[in-house]
Structure 1
Amino acid sequence: MSDTREFYGRWADLYDRLASLPFAESWRERAADSLALSPGDTVVEMGCGTGANVPVLRRRVGPEGRVVGLDLTREMIERARGRPDRAGDGVHYLLGDATRPPVRGADAVLATFVAGIFADPAAAVDAWCDSVRPGGRVALLNFQRSENPLAAPLDVAFEGFVRLSAPGARLSRQSHAGAFERRVAAARDRLTERTVDRRYETFGGGFLGLVSGRVE
């Protein structure tokens, strides 16, 4: 975990700039929609980074609801707390390990672009499902290779993306895209096992996959 913390701490500024790009707003809206949030709900984001999803989630739960962001990296949390649109009443940030979240009874859990970095993604999903009350929803948003034939030329950049975004991958000569995809698939499979009323959709030219389900 120390490598992960150091990696994301070093790149917190660049990460925040990329996460704040305007075209990503529609991704956030769709991820938030998949949680079926209501005013007054409590939603937890696992691996919240610099809090780019917080404004969208806060609009869903309203002033009487709560948004909790959990991240392993202090630099990410500090940036999130320093953004007025990502902080304030009803928003709480916790420094901690998303694979062992210190929360229970939430109405929903969101994890965006983090399932592929865990050594045991299925165990992480178990922990997230255990953090949600019966009837609450869990959603995973991840990058993936596109099955759209028109997107084939861009698939060659997928390995490059994984190397730039995963701790330790940039210095390795081995392909990391396959391992990344297996971890994402393991997370999705476990969410499928743990939930009902599941939904799956792709967007962003097929390079984004959103899976959600309701915990019984």
Structure 2
Amino acid sequence: MQWKECFDLQPPRYRRDGAGSFGVQSPELVFAALGLKTGNCFLDAGCGPGEYALLAAAWVGASGRVIGLDHDARMIEQLRQASQAADCPNIASLIADLGAPLPLAASSIDAVLISGVLHMPGLDEHWGVLFPELYRALRPNGRLGIIESPKPAATPDLPLHLRLTPTTIAAEIKPYGFQQVGLTKLSSRELVLFTKG
């Protein structure tokens, strides 16, 4: 199945480029920025119901692998059901907390996406665990993409004080070995792109 067909199978509330913590933001731009290719292993960290995971499964093809990871068992169950309905056997669904050691092998992931998650209250207290874990799991030259709302964006779903600027994100995760290599404007969000240094 092609990734656009997977996109069309998703519930309408996920098929958008507008505001909202859930909702796919320009998947072609996101996957291209991440350098995602057929045969890659993609991690959707804090995947929620797995919108990006489902699209990435078709993008990386049958020879690739997608891991959807979330702490909420209900979200993981939604992803499991959706991946079965979309006949995407290359998706693994894992219940795990982003603030704890991750159940991922070292140097096993080509690209990681964290979309609309990093601003969650209290998660910043665990960045000292999260980013070293992602660094460990990424292959050499692996990519990390973080989608967040910029400070001036007029998105009604996220209070201004919770928004993270690309500069803030880059400064906070640089000590863990990540180097910022790009910034892509999406409709109401920004994708900050890093590589494993």
Tell me which interval the TM-score lies in, with the shorter structure as reference length: 0.7 to 0.9
Distance 2:12 2:124 in 1: 25
- Amino acid of the structure 2 residue aligned with 1:111: I
Distance 1:18 1:185 in 2: 33
Distance 2:76 2:131 in 1: 22
Distance 1:214 1:208 in 2: 20
TM-score normalised by structure 1 residue count: 0.70
Partner of 2:92: 92
Retained in 2: the 8 A contact 1:35–1:137?
Answer: yes
Partner of 2:30: 31
- CA-based RMSD: 2.7
Which protein has the bigger helix share?
1
Structure 1 portions without partners, runs of 5+:
1-15, 148-154, 163-175
Retained in 2: the 8 A contact 1:43–1:57?
Answer: yes
For the pair 1:190 / 2:191, whether they are aligned, the reply is no
Retained in 2: the 8 A contact 1:196–1:215?
Answer: yes
Structure 2 portions without partners, runs of 5+:
1-9, 18-22
Partner of 1:161: 157
Retained in 2: the 8 A contact 1:115–1:183?
Answer: no
Structure 2 CA distance for partners of 1:126 and 1:187, relative to 1, 3 Å: farther
Structure 2 CA distance for partners of 1:185 and 1:121, relative to 1, 3 Å: farther
Of 132, 139, 147 in structure 2, the residue corresponding to residue 133 of structure 1 is 139
Distance 2:54 2:167 in 1: 28
Count of aligned residue pairs for this structure pair: 175
Of 146, 149, 157 in structure 2, the residue corresponding to residue 143 of structure 1 is 149
Distance 1:161 1:50 in 2: 18
TM-score normalised by structure 2 residue count: 0.75
Higher alpha-carbon Rg? 1
